[in-house]
Structure 1
């Protein structure tokens, strides 16, 4: 096999790219992994202690994602600032349908967790500094050409361009990067004609570790428990779906008026909304790539599929896909196959396809089902929510989707262990 400058180049060192780099270092320490990122990795940038910010953006981690981070040896540190979700309450505003999920009913300490993005990034960086992963930063991948048994990647940096050869390029720089399109991947887009407003809020009543999913005639909203992992506080992470006109109107309001508007839409289950933090927003579009691989290149994370945040499954789906990719690369290494060969990457795509298709359908169907106010449809979905609350089998299925255990996932294995795959149904 031809010698390259490195084995794997990961374009993007965010949560997906950094997690993949760590997983590869755990499972395949003999591989040379290079991460290309616009922000430098430096021990000086890592604080001695983490102080959560009120306005910190966060991510919902399913129970299945916790299991993956445990296998990576990262969960113990992550858990220091990960708020558990012990209850999920799903309701349809103005209608009688509702369903409730409780972790204790499934013999788990939590259904999922909420962790600040910055905290997850710091935990990953600390671990990566202890590995042989090479960090090319600040730099970005600007182009790629296929070569024998691999790719030649062009890196753009402040000091000019340079090139690296590798067996495989992994595009992990998110759904808004232009690298995916520049490389010629065809993206399917379905605009929801809505925006997601993200902010942290304070309420007069404790969240009691409950995540609320509230469907309204103007779009879904979610409130996730946020703050201390050991004390049920009064801070929640808000994801509020709005159309363009409503978003512009809301952003023009004072913070007090924003809280009042939120009160009208969500109700009083958490008491009075007392404070809303810094608001950010982005347009909602379902993006998928049917063929996310080609010789020497594979898309992962939001570069391969970007979902509506209604079910909180985007990063969890990406994480499961990363583990499947690592397992496929491990098998290829054992069989001395080129890591960027189309047969290897196609095998990864086929193994991950059912999971991402099922997760996309699950998330998109919620939007379609709760996005109409036709009497027959509203009656059916209210009956469905009540049915979930009354039928153990249906409720168990719904809980497994929420916990990120609906599909299969590959295990991370350290050298010397056998190749097996565990079903989430075990």
Structure 2
């Protein structure tokens, strides 16, 4: 076999691509990994200089994701600005049905966490500085051709183009990139006819480290505790589902009027809404790829599946998939197999498929069930939510889904630990 320029090319250095690169450096330090990222990197932007912004966008991390970040040696730093979710309250607006989850009932410190995306990126960059991972930025992957020994990846940096050979290409540049389509992967997309409005809000009452999932006749909305990891403050991260017209109507309002509209939809569980920050928005779709692998290339993260944010499952699902892929690459190196061999990538796909199918069904069924206003379904929803509170087994199943546990993962504790077996999220 001809020696390639690198072993693995990761297209995209965002949260998914950077996490994969770090996990590979921990599990298989002998691998040569090259990350190609469109945005320039600054060695000066390190966690020590981080100042949280009110308008910072954030991600909900399940308890299972915390376990993964602990294994990567990242959690002690990341937790400095990760707000715990100790309670979850799920309700159906205008009806009596509700269910409540409490981390203490499951002997956990938290059900999950909320962390700023930029903070997570800085923590990952800081760890990656101490690895042998190569970065090419700013640059982008524009094409790929299979070769006898792997793949030949075409790069573009400004006006310059170049190629790099590797055993395998990982597409981790998100669901909106054109690279997936350029390479001929076929997607299935369901448009929910809704948009997610994202903003940080302040309320007169403290969030008390509680997350609220509120289903309304206009669509679901979520409020997640945000701000300090130790003090229950008054800031929450909002995900507000709106139709096209409702979105435009809301965006045209002043901040004060936005708060009034939000109050009318959410209610008074957190007191009065006193401030809403900078709003961003995007259309909501369910996008999946039936065959996310082929010889020499694999899709991960949002490039492979993009979910409705109703249950906060997207990044957590992606993270579990990344760890599954890392374990298959580790085994391939042990068995002297090429990383791009189809049997290696298909093992990853088969192991991850059940997880993403179950997670997609879970998220999608919530939208379809709570999006119906017919009286029989509304009554059934009420009974179901109250039943979760009354039936310990059903409630525990729901809690495990919310915490992102119960799946399979590769244990990656760092070089020299000797701990490389698979284990359950427990």
Name the TM-score class by shorter chain. over 0.9
Normalization by structure 2: what TM-score? Answer: 0.98
1:247 counterpart residue number: 247
SS of alignment partner, residue 154 of structure 1: strand
Cα offset, 1:159, TM superposition? 4.5
SS of alignment partner, residue 422 of structure 1: strand
Post-superposition, which runs of at least 4 consecutive aligned residues in structure 1 deviate over 3 A?
A: 413-416
2:380 counterpart residue number: 380
Alignment of 1:189-338 (within 5 A): 189-338=189-338
2:136 counterpart residue number: 136
1:164 counterpart residue number: 164
Deviations 1:132-171 (A, max 9, x none): 0000011000000000121000000114000000000000
Normalization by structure 1: what TM-score? Answer: 0.98
SS of alignment partner, residue 205 of structure 1: coil
1:420 counterpart residue number: 421
2:50 counterpart residue number: 50
2:91 counterpart residue number: 91
Alignment of 1:9-158 (within 5 A): 9-46=9-46, 48-158=48-158
Deviations 1:341-385 (A, max 9, x none): 000000000000000000000000000000001111111111000
Return the alpha-carbon distance in structure 1 between the equivalents of residues 407 and 360 of structure 2.
Answer: 12
Alpha-carbon contact 2:412-2:420 (below 8 Å) kept: no
Return the alpha-carbon distance in structure 2 between the equivalents of residues 212 and 57 of structure 1.
Answer: 18
2:358 counterpart residue number: 358
Return the alpha-carbon distance in structure 1 between the equivalents of residues 253 and 342 of structure 2.
Answer: 53
Return the alpha-carbon distance in structure 2 between the equivalents of residues 319 and 415 of structure 1.
Answer: 20
Deviations 1:152-203 (A, max 9, x none): 0000011400000000000000000000000000000000000000000000
1:176 counterpart residue number: 176
1:185 counterpart residue number: 185
What residue ranges of structure 1 are gaps of 5+ in the alignment?
none
What residue ranges of structure 2 are gaps of 5+ in the alignment?
none
Cα offset, 1:47, TM superposition? 5.9
Return the alpha-carbon distance in structure 2 between the equivalents of residues 109 and 148 of structure 1.
Answer: 51
Cα offset, 1:421, TM superposition? 1.1
Root-mean-square deviation (CA), in Å? 1.0
Return the alpha-carbon distance in structure 2 between the equivalents of residues 9 and 97 of structure 1.
Answer: 49
Return the alpha-carbon distance in structure 1 between the equivalents of residues 218 and 375 of structure 2.
Answer: 16
Change (3 A) 1:253 1:418: closer
Return the alpha-carbon distance in structure 2 between the equivalents of residues 167 and 380 of structure 1.
Answer: 52
1:343 counterpart residue number: 343
SS of alignment partner, residue 132 of structure 1: coil
SS of alignment partner, residue 380 of structure 1: helix
Alpha-carbon contact 1:149-1:341 (below 8 Å) kept: no
SS of alignment partner, residue 423 of structure 2: coil
Does residue 3 of the first structure (1) align with residue 3 of the second (2)?
yes
